[in-house]
Each structure stands twice: as C-alpha cells, then as structure tokens.
Amino acid sequence: KQEVTQIPAALSVPEGENLVLNCSFTDSAIYNLQWFRQDPGKGLTSLLLIQSSQREQTSGRLNASLDKSSGRSTLYIAASQPGDSATYLCAVVSGAQKLVFGQGTRLTINP
Amino acid sequence: NAGVTQTPKFRVLKTGQSMTLLCAQDMNHEYMYWYRQDPGMGLRLIHYSVGEGTTAKGEVPDGYNVSRLKKQNFLLGLESAAPSQTSVYFCASIKVPNNEQFFGPGTRLTVL
C-alpha cells in the first residue's frame, strides 16, 4: 500500500528565505507526483506536476524535484513571501490514477 | 471553463438524514473522484469513476454511494448520515494522459 509522508509538519521562516519541503513515498511504481497548495478553508490548487520520467519541474519561484528510486520529492521555494503562507500537499498517482496524499506541511512566512 | 464545481458549499444535517453532493466538470475528463479531508487524517479517497456508468471503491467507501450517469457529473450520496461523516468533501477530475488532477472548491458538511 502506497504511503506518503511529508516532513516537517509545520515550518516557520522569515520573509526572503529560500526553503525546502520534503515528501517521501514507499512504492516507487508511480505515474507522477503532484504538489498542491491549500489556503485555510479553501480548495486545492495544483502547483507542479512531475511525470515519473522527469526529474524536475519549475514554475516561477517554485522548483520540484523527483527521485523515484529513493522515493523522494522536494519542493523548493525561492525568496519566500508572506503570500506563500499555506499548507503544501504532496500526492502521488499510482494504480487507476488514484492520488495518495501526504499529511501536508503548514508553512508560515513571517514579514 | 468553470472547471470543477461542487454543490452545495455548506450543509448541516441531522443524524439519519440523507443528502446528495453534486460534482460537475466541463473539461470532458474521463476520471472523477470523491475525497474527504479531516484534521490529522489528510485527504482520503471515498469512491472514484473511470468513465460514464462506472464506479469503484476507494479507501473509505463505507456509508457512501456514488453514481456517474453522465460523464460530466459525479454524485456522492449519504443514505443515513452519521456524525463521523462530518468533514470537508472534495471532488476532483483528471486530465489524461498527463494525469493532472483538478479539484473543486469543497463542500463543508456537518452532521449533528
């Protein structure tokens, strides 16, 4: 059974810092990995999608990497801003295109 | 494109009452999903559908039923609501072939 773990559960950093969020999964037979952002009381917004054949994806200040063999992904946020404060969720797609989610990392950027 | 929409946004039920949550997508996606999100439990898959007329169980299907009579709609039913079904429910659909999932805004359900 696929299990996804995100560390740390919560992170608080000052504005302007670069930071890394971690995601690990137990079964390397994945189709892809997706990072989402969720603001309090809101839905999920897709940030980056990495196919199993890819090593990384970039969007603006965000960069996501994937190492299937070790079962790890990282989300790098450059020059963090208070507006980046949210919960970040990692999810992997396995059989029948079903997503398995991690518990999320609650990120706070302090002005 | 409206994307993925959910109706209603909020609902309060009494134990034993029934209701149906509607999910609609206008992106012509084949696959649709229902998740529930609970504090400390993350998002868990309830049921999913790989095409019109098909449904399958996910991780936590008990107490729920689903139907996919039209490709664009996926309905989640609670026949006899229980307080344990208090949760936020999210619908999602998938774009093939890259398998990117798109989520609706959620339905916040409280069962008293």
CB A65 within 8 Å of CB A74: yes
B21 contact A CB<8A: no
* Chain A touched by B42 (CB under 8 Å): yes
Chain A hits for B92, Cβ within 8 Å:
44, 99
> What amino acid is encoded at B63 in this protein?
G
Structure-token pair, residue B37 = 């999100």
Q: How many CB atoms lie within 10 A of CB A95?
A: 10
pLDDT at A94 over 80: no
For position B2, what pLDDT does the model report?
A: 79
Q: What is the pLDDT of residues A29-68, one digit of tens each?
A: 888 999 999 998 888 999 999 999 999 999 999 999 999 9
Alpha carbon dihedral B50, B88, A38, A111, in 10-degree steps, equals: 180
Per-residue tokens: A73: 């992904």
Does A98 or A15 have the greater pLDDT score? A15
Q: What would the pLDDT profile of B73-111 be if each residue is shown by its tens digit?
A: 999 999 999 999 999 999 999 987 777 889 999 999 999
Minimum distance, in Å, between the CA of residue B65 and any CA atom of chain A: 18
Quick one: pLDDT at residue A96? Answer: 64
Residue B107, chain A, CB below 8 Å: the answer is no
B-chain residues near A25 (CB < 8 A): none
Model confidence over B2-59: pLDDT tens digits? Answer: 799 999 999 999 999 999 999 999 999 999 999 999 987 889 999 999 999 999 999 9
Decide if pLDDT at A70 tops 70: yes
Which residues does A contribute to its contact with B (CB < 8 Å)?
31-32, 34, 36, 42-46, 49, 51, 89, 91, 93, 96-104
User: Using CB atoms, which residue from A42, A45, A101 is nearest to B42?
Assistant: A101
Top pLDDT among B97 and B69 is at B69
**Tens-place pLDDT, residues A17-36:** 999 999 999 998 888 999 99
